[in-house]
Amino acid sequence: MGFMLILLALNIVCVVVCHNMAKARGAKPVFWGVMGALFGPFAIPFAYKAKPADY
Give tens-digit pLDDT for 29-41.
Answer: 999 999 999 999 9
How confident is residue 50, by pLDDT bands cut at 50, 70 and 90?
confident
Does residue 36 lie within any of the structural domains?
Answer: yes
pTM of the model: 0.86
Does residue 55 lie within any of the structural domains?
Answer: no
Q: Which helix (H) or strand (E) holds 34?
A: helix 29-39
Question: What's the confidence (pLDDT) of residue 16?
Answer: 97
**Could you count the other beta carbons within 10 Å of the beta carbon of residue 41?**
13
Does residue 54 lie within any of the structural domains?
Answer: no
| CA distances for 47 relative to 1, 3, 35, 39, angstroms | 30, 26, 9, 11
Q: How far is CA 48 from the centre of its chain?
A: 9
Among residues 12, 49, 54, the alpha carbon closest in space to that of 33 is found at 12
| Structural domain boundaries enclosing 17 | 2-48
Examine the pLDDT at 42 and tell me if it is beyond 60: yes
Average pLDDT of the residues of the chain: 92
Does residue 53 lie within any of the structural domains?
Answer: no
Structural domain count, the chain: 1
